[in-house]
Amino acid sequence: MKFLLKNLNVYYDRAFQKADILIVDGIVAAMGSGLLVGGDAAVFDFHGAHALPGLADPHVHLREPGFACKETIRTGTLAAARGGYTAVCSMPNLKPVPDSLEALNVQLDIIRRDAAVAVRPYGAITKGERGAELADLEAMAPYAAGFSDDGRGVQSEELMRAAMEKARDLGKPIVAHAEDESLLKKGWAVHDGTYARAHGLVGNVSESEWRQVERDLELVRETGCAYHVCHVSTKETVGLVRLAKFEGLDVTCETAPHYLTLTDADLRDSGAYRMNPPIRSAEDRDALIEGICDGTVDMIATDHAPHAKEEKSGGLAGSLNGIVGLECAFPVLYTKLVLGRVTSLERLIELMSAAPARRFGLPGGSIELGGAANIAVFDLNREFAIDPAEFASLGRATPFEGWKVRGRCLMTISGGKIAWRNDNA
């Protein structure tokens, strides 16, 4: 298979250059101006659009096996492709929970059959994600991006220490949903409490996140484990991670688009604003922005978490936690952060592509001659309104509905194959 992408601004060797890209049998065979091919090649002229390394998301919920009414591996990875993602890591809160090789193979079989982009699953830290006994980490290690009990924090310090020691020996990161459950009912879901009280919301104070990160970092000091913090939402966590990096610990972290672009003042009585951790204060948002600018926050993940319509129809108080984001993350962040002069496009590419690919061994992260083609083509000038009715995902709940943004994905090439093409490109 051979195809030519013409008239692009290609992000290559950390800079943009005008070039065409020739892809032959899944490999970037040539780059340069005015490339020509024979009649057997498909040619796509993008008229000055931007070719970026395929985006990589280290935190998505594909819901299959076990919850196909919410999402399937097919629909979730098509959503990823529509958003410019060529690789994702799938979280383990599934049925069966991937806590053994046998259980993980159920998911791997579906991935091999149905995935539109590359998927690397996480294995669970504990059996059934119940926090009582270690999962079979050794058997899953060759196939897992790392180990996580996402959706629940590991409450036992002794068990987390044992998990870190085992993960260290296996060369895999612990990917932590940091949440101290003993603190969940001691405060309101937002800092000033006004909106939360009006809608009957309690729980999940900032301390429930950063206290467990603080505990885990002490364990990292003891064990030397590679450690990654999921969906950072508080200024205190940013400060803890910054100090840990200064010490030289093997620590990375992610935040999400909604924590960078929204605050508790933006909350509405809608399930589209219900997630865990919750949207927090302007001070927290500003600390996260500082973190992505100074390198404390390594990457941006969507925490794409689809639910059935009825599960998100109970307002803030009565809906399940989780929103979708794969199909709108890049345009939201490009519009708010790059066009808003918060950070550069080059830094956004690092946060959404190179850093997660590097940390979790995902394909992509750069466009290289002779390398596998993992490329996302965006028209950065095209403005559109985010409409969940257009999503490939089965989930529709997003706080970004109706936002006018720029940066429409025109084509996504994953592993040298066209995973998505905008028919209006």
| CA 65 to chain CA centroid, nearest Å | 19
- Which of 40, 303, 379, 387 is flagged as catalytic? 303
Nearest CA-CA partner of 277 in 209, 217, 221, 375: 209
Residue 362 contacts residue 80 (beta carbons within 8 Å): no
Residue 53 phi/psi, 5° resolution?
A: -55, 140
Question: Is 240 in a helix, a strand, or coil?
Answer: helix
* Spatial distance between the Cα atoms of 49 and 20, rounded to a whole number of angstroms: 11
Nearest CA-CA partner of 332 in 424, 280, 261, 388: 261
Question: Is 284 in a helix, a strand, or coil?
Answer: helix
Residue 36 contacts residue 2 (beta carbons within 8 Å): no
* Spatial distance between the Cα atoms of 68 and 367, rounded to a whole number of angstroms: 34
Q: Which two tokens stand for residue 107?
A: 């998911």
Q: Bridge partners of 376?
A: 52, 412
Whether a cis peptide bond, with omega within 30° of 0, leads into 96 is yes
Residue 227 contacts residue 174 (beta carbons within 8 Å): yes
Q: Which two tokens stand for residue 150?
A: 């996402």
Q: Bridge partners of 39?
A: none
Q: Which two tokens stand for residue 253?
A: 């972290």
Whether 387 is a known active-site residue: answer no
Residues known to be catalytic: 303
